[in-house]
A and B are shown apart, each in its own frame.
Chain A
Amino acid sequence: MGKKTSLYHKHLESGAKIVDFGGYDMPLHYGSQIEEHHQVRNDAGMFDVSHMVVVDLRGKAVRDFLRHLLANNVDRLQQSGKALYSCMLNSDGGIVDDLIVYFMDETWFRLVVNAATRDKDLAWIEKQVADFDVAIEVRDDLAMIAVQGPQARIKTHALLDGLKQKKADELAPFYAVECDGFFIARTGYTGEDGYEIMLPADQAELFWQGLLEQGVKPVGLGARDTLRLEAGMNLYGTDMDESVSPLESGLGWTVGWEPSDRHFIGRDALQVQRESSECQKFVGLILDGKGMLRNHQKVVVDGALVGEVTSGSFSPTLGKAIAFARVDAHVKTQCDIEVRGRHLSATVVKLPFVRNGKSCL
Chain B
Amino acid sequence: MSDIPADLKYTKSHEWVQVLDDNVVLVGITDHAQELLGDMVYVELPAEGDSLGMGDECVVVESVKAASDMYSPATADVIAVNEVLADQPELINKDPYGEGWILRLKVSAPDELDGLLSADDYAELIASEAD
Contact = CB atoms under 8 A, between A and B. Distances in A.
B86 A290 contact: yes
A47 interface: no
A29 B41 contact: no
B60 A340 contact: yes
Interface string B96-130: 00000000000000000000000000000000000
Nearest to B36: A17
Contact of A222 (B65, B67, B86): B65
A291 interface: yes
B53 interface: no
Nearest to B62: A292
Contacts of A294: 67
22 contacts: A28-B65, A32-B38, A32-B39, A33-B38, A33-B39, A33-B65, A34-B39, A34-B64, A222-B64, A226-B64, A290-B86, A291-B42, A291-B44, A292-B41, A292-B42, A292-B67, A313-B64, A314-B41, A314-B42, A314-B62, A321-B41, A340-B44
B82 to A, nearest CB: 15
A291 B39 CA distance: 14
Contacts of B62: 291-292, 314
Contacts of A290: 42, 86
Contacts of A313: 64
| Majority secondary structure of chain A interface residues (helix, strand, loop or mixed) | mixed
Nearest to B93: A32
Contacts of B60: 340
Q: Size band of the A side of the interface?
A: 10 to 19
Interface of B: 38-39, 41-42, 44, 60, 62, 64-65, 67, 86
Interface in A262-296: 290-292, 294
Which of A29, A222, A314, A340: most chain B Cβ within 10 A?
A: A314
A205 B55 CA distance: 49
Interface in A286-329: 290-292, 294, 313-314, 321
Given A33-B65, A292-B62, A314-B64, A222 B41 contact: no
A29 B64 CA distance: 12
Contacts of A34: 39, 64
Contact of A321 (B39, B42, B65, B86): B42
Contacts of B38: 29, 32-33, 222
Given A34-B64, A321-B42, 9 more contacts: A28-B65, A222-B38, A222-B64, A226-B64, A291-B42, A314-B41, A314-B42, A314-B62, A321-B41
B42 A33 contact: no
A28 B60 CA distance: 23
A33 B67 CA distance: 16
Contacts of A321: 41-42
Which of A34, A222, A321: most chain B Cβ within 10 A?
A: A34
A33 B44 contact: no
Contacts of B86: 290
A227 B57 CA distance: 32
Contacts of A292: 41-42, 62, 67
Nearest to B87: A290
Contacts of B39: 32-34
9 nearest A-B residue pairs (beta carbon) = A314-B41, A34-B39, A292-B62, A292-B42, A33-B64, A33-B39, A314-B64, A32-B39, A291-B42
Nearest to B86: A290
A340 B68 CA distance: 12
Nearest to A313: B64
A29 B65 CA distance: 11
